[in-house]
Amino acid sequence: MMTIEQVRMLIRPNILGLKPYSSARNEYGAQDAILLDANENPFEVWEQENMNRYPDPLQKRAKEKIARIKGIAPEQLFLGNGSDEAVDLIIRCFCEPATDSIAIFTPTYGMYAVCAEINNVRVNAFSLNSDFSIDTQYFLSKVSANVKVAFICNPNNPTGNTQKPEIIEQIIAGLKGIVVVDEAYIDFCPEKSVVNLLQSYPNLIVLQTFSKAWALAGARIGIAIANPAVIEILNKVKFPYNIGLPSLKTLDYALERPLAKDIYVHEILRERGRLIAELQEVQCVERIFPSDANFLLVKTTSADTVHKELLRKGIVVRNRSREPLCEGCLRITVGTPLENQELVDAIKAIRI
């Protein structure tokens, strides 16, 4: 188990010593002041309130509301331009280019490796077991000391399964590095978030997003939940105004209506069940893997043919058949009832 001092030691020295950009409004607070500090256009030209002004760099109002909903403190929250921004910042804060590595459990979400490679950080890929579980003992015995960050996607994209909480805790307790648990799909999953583990483990960072269950993919808002000392570091490195005002306004509207999110999640889960039942009857479908997310990993007799035939009919699904352990597999997002019906009809008509 790491202490917060040990976590601080993991931060790249140049980042630890960085003096971040600071706006005058940030430094002095500016309730009802005359704002002549940021070279904005003083006129509200576009009839949308405050659109001529830079947005709040630390998104205080949004954080207070999110913190209340999640049962955490606002200081434990980072808001990013999608959770992808948090993935990139975490790698940049903790991994020295050309020296350090990240660990991933494959197959998994592609952006962890992409962000690492962009930053010239090596990727140590550990294969999931054939049932998509993590081999914790193997990982902890083999992981090298230069792995500064391990990413666990939970539920995992594209396999749709969830790791047992005790497996995740063993990795957080055993790794001398940061463990990121990406919970983009947690709202579709019966298992609880691992946020409660933050009380014991300062090396844990939980990622969540408003792009999935909250139906705000267009707003680009993701969150990192972590020890306040870790959040401070992410805030130091991010661009000052990383989330635009229209996105913050839309988020504010949605946060006042959490029940709407719950209703749509319920609807998606019902449709997921219906889709499984229908696809099971289809000739070219060999297997549907259990899913705790809003998509299904479906093994077909020929992924390339099914993928191509669906495209020809105007239906886009993800061909994951070249990913490890995913031979013959397509990843299919649960759509509206009408979209799902069209998918089922189209796939039924395919003769291989």
Ligand X SMILES: Cc1ncc(COP(=O)(O)O)c(C=O)c1O
Q: How far is the CB of 45 from ligand X (least distance, A)?
A: 30
Task: Determine if the peptide bond prior to 240 is cis (ω within 30°).
Answer: no
- Residues whose CB is less than 8 angstroms from the CB of residue 152 and which lie 6 or more positions away in sequence, other chains included: 105, 134, 163, 168, 171, 179, 180, 181, 182
Measured at the CA of 46, the angle between CA 40 and CA 50, to 5 degrees, comes to 50
Say which residue the tokens 């197959």 belong to.
107
Q: How far is the CB of 209 from ligand X (least distance, A)?
A: 3
Comparing CB distances to ligand X, the nearer of 163 and 309 is 163
Return the residue nearest ligand X (CB atom): 82
Comparing CB distances to ligand X, the nearer of 187 and 309 is 187
Q: How far apart are CA 233 and CA 263, in angstroms?
A: 36
Q: Which of 239, 347, 244, 261 is nearest to 303 (CA)?
A: 347
Q: How far is the CB of 182 from ligand X (least distance, A)?
A: 5
Q: How far is the CB of 193 from ligand X (least distance, A)?
A: 14
Comparing CB distances to ligand X, the nearer of 86 and 347 is 86
Beta strands in the chain (DSSP E): 77-80, 101-106, 122-127, 147-153, 178-182, 204-209, 222-225, 285-288, 295-300, 318-319, 329-333
Q: How far is the CB of 294 from ligand X (least distance, A)?
A: 10
Give me the amino acid identity at 198. L
Q: How far apart are CA 197 and CA 338, in angstroms?
A: 40
Q: How far apart are CA 43 and CA 240, in angstroms?
A: 22
Element (H, E) at 167: helix 165-174
Handedness of CA 5, 10, 11, 17 (dihedral sign): positive
Q: How far apart are CA 99 and CA 111, in angstroms?
A: 20
Supply 36's token pair: 């002549």
Comparing CB distances to ligand X, the nearer of 82 and 328 is 82
Comparing CB distances to ligand X, the nearer of 189 and 284 is 189
Comparing CB distances to ligand X, the nearer of 112 and 201 is 112
Q: Which residues bind ligand X (CB under 6 A)?
A: 82-84, 109, 153, 157, 182, 184, 209, 211, 217, 222
Q: How far is the CB of 271 from ligand X (least distance, A)?
A: 18
Q: How far is the CB of 79 from ligand X (least distance, A)?
A: 11
Comparing CB distances to ligand X, the nearer of 292 and 309 is 292
Q: How far is the CB of 327 from ligand X (least distance, A)?
A: 21
Comparing CB distances to ligand X, the nearer of 157 and 227 is 157
